[in-house]
């Protein structure tokens, strides 16, 4: 280890916070400390959400050989004597969208349950923000160091499903209600593979604390290769299952059935407009960001640098770079794959992901039991673990896709 933990850039945000806190009288310091953390998370991930939306639109456009939004510049403020004519590559688009959403009329159906209709978007944003509390954003940047952090993360994440059903039910609209029920079926189906894909990490590290999980990925193999869990057979399989389940949990394409833009009016959001709709949208992206952050934490080494000589870059920047990479991958998948039907969706979860995830738990158990194997036995350990991953995938995939592929097009040229 170099002197990276003590470098100025690594410490600067912490020093700034401590300096601001010590300005206040003693009894307020505890409160100020946590409020600053909360405000920092809200500001950083609020802006991150804004730029994720524009990045998504631009990336999707590029994936389809289009240009994407590039017109929104700065408005002419009447008090300023000059006007910046540059369009800034359309980067101010999210702020224009925010102004639009804020100024739209907020319509609540007359027959709706007004209180729950109002509460649903609030709850969905609150719970998806709460998951950020246990993500280690850097070496010293963990808002709350819980022993049962993973449990807390999934508890808070699952609570957003309550809000989705609340939105569908309180709208008093049959389409909203049906869509909310379908969304619930999807979310509960994928909750299982999501959590099962995380269990191997817990088995191997023996802890639920996100901080300890990241630290256990911290040393180097042969002095330069990262010891991230994604580079082990069980970790790779777990990561892939986690990716698929995370896509479904955050209602992303190809699992975006709850509000399939091209087919439904907006699913459970049918009766929402203006800023409440924007809040649901925001919660969806917060959920995606939080799940990506969890994936980075569990499988991609968290805030660790990939190589020892890159450790001079502050840990929080490494975390953000990996997070952006994950989100770009999700956007790439959205630009590529088609939407599944509801039966295909649940079939994929129950017949494919859940069995594979269960086998992967056994794989991790084998990995833990063989930690003392050394020398040529190490190769046997890797071989057996790889076989436990690949063979079930191959045979399960074959049996599931039997009779479906390859598709022949009789009339197409």
Residues near another protein, by CB under 8 A:
59, 62-67, 332-333, 335-337, 393-394, 396-398, 400-401, 405
Burial of 368 (0-12, 13-18, 19+ CB in 10 A): middle
Distance CA 242, CA 19 (A): 40
Q: Which of 21, 29, 235, 16 is nearest to 140 (CA)?
A: 16
Q: Could you give the 3-state DSSP secondary structure of residue 300? A: coil
Minimum gap (Å) between residue 65 Cβ and another protein: 5
Give the 3-state DSSP-derived string for 19-79, with helices as H, strands as E and coil as C: HHHHCCCHHHHHHHHHHHHHHHHHHHHHHHHHHHHHHHHHHHHHHCCCCCCCCCCCCCCCC
DSSP state of 304: -
Minimum gap (Å) between residue 254 Cβ and another protein: 9
What is the sign of the dihedral through the CA atoms of 228, 229, 231 and 237? negative
Minimum gap (Å) between residue 67 Cβ and another protein: 6
Residue with smaller CB distance to another protein, 21 or 396:
396
Distance CA 190, CA 172 (A): 27
Task: Supply angle C-alpha 114, 119, 124, rounded to 5.
Answer: 145
Residue with smaller CB distance to another protein, 63 or 212:
63
Residue with smaller CB distance to another protein, 110 or 405:
405
β partners of residue 220: 226
DSSP state of 313: S
Token pair 């003693």 is found at 26
- Residue 342's contacts (CB-CB under 8 Å, 6 or more residues apart) are 182, 185, 186, 257
Distance CA 157, CA 153 (A): 6
Minimum gap (Å) between residue 59 Cβ and another protein: 7
Residue with smaller CB distance to another protein, 17 or 347:
347
Minimum gap (Å) between residue 399 Cβ and another protein: 10
Residue with smaller CB distance to another protein, 99 or 390:
390
Minimum gap (Å) between residue 70 Cβ and another protein: 8
Burial of 391 (0-12, 13-18, 19+ CB in 10 A): exposed
Minimum gap (Å) between residue 281 Cβ and another protein: 24
Residue with smaller CB distance to another protein, 24 or 67:
67
Minimum gap (Å) between residue 180 Cβ and another protein: 29
Burial of 19 (0-12, 13-18, 19+ CB in 10 A): exposed
Minimum gap (Å) between residue 398 Cβ and another protein: 7
Residue 395: CB atoms within 10 A of its CB come to 10
Residue with smaller CB distance to another protein, 184 or 333:
333
**Backbone φ, ψ for residue 234 (5° rounding):** -70, -35
Q: Which of 128, 158, 153 is nearest to 213 (CA)?
A: 153
Residue with smaller CB distance to another protein, 199 or 396:
396
Minimum gap (Å) between residue 394 Cβ and another protein: 7
Residue with smaller CB distance to another protein, 62 or 114:
62
Residue with smaller CB distance to another protein, 108 or 333:
333
């Amino acid at each position: 280890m170099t002197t990276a933990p003590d470098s100025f850039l690594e410490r600067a945000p912490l020093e700034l916070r401590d300096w601001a806190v010590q300005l206040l009288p003693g009894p307020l310091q505890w409160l100020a400390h946590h409020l600053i953390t909360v405000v920092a998370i809200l500001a950083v991930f609020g802006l991150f959400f804004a730029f994720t939306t524009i990045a998504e639109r631009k990336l999707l456009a590029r994936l389809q050989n289009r240009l994407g939004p590039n017109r929104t510049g700065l408005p002419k403020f009447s008090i300023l004597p000059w006007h910046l004519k540059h369009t800034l590559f359309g980067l101010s688009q999210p702020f224009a969208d925010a102004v639009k959403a804020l100024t739209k009329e907020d319509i609540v159906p007359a027959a709706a349950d007004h209180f729950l209709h109002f509460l649903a978007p609030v709850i969905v944003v609150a719970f998806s923000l709460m998951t950020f509390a246990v993500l280690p954003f850097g070496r010293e940047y963990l808002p709350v160091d819980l022993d049962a952090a993973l449990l807390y993360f999934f508890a808070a994440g699952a609570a957003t499903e309550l809000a989705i059903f609340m939105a569908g039910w309180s709208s008093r609209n049959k389409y909203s209600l049906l869509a909310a029920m379908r969304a619930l079926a999807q979310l509960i189906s994928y909750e299982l593979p999501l959590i099962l894909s995380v269990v191997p990490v817990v088995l191997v590290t023996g802890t639920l604390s996100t901080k300890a999980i990241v630290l256990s990925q911290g040393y180097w193999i042969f002095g330069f290769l990262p010891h991230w869990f994604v580079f082990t057979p069980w970790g790779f399989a777990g990561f892939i299952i986690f990716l698929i389940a995370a896509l479904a949990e955050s209602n992303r394409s190809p699992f975006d059935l709850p509000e399939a833009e091209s087919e439904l009016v907006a699913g459970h959001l049918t009766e929402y407009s203006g800023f409440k709709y924007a809040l649901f949208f925001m919660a969806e992206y917060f959920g995606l960001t939080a799940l990506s952050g969890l994936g980075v934490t569990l499988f991609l080494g968290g805030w660790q640098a990939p190589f020892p000589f890159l450790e001079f870059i502050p840990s929080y920047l490494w975390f953000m770079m990996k997070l952006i990479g994950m989100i770009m991958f999700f956007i790439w998948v959205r630009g590529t794959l088609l939407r599944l039907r509801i039966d295909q969706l649940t079939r994929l979860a129950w017949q494919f992901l859940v069995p594979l995830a269960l086998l992967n738990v056994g794989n991790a158990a084998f990995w833990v039991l063989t930690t003392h194997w050394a020398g040529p036995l190490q190769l046997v350990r890797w071989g057996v673990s790889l076989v436990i991953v690949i063979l079930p995938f191959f045979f399960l995939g074959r049996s599931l896709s039997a009779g479906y592929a390859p598709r022949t097009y009789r009339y197409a040229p």
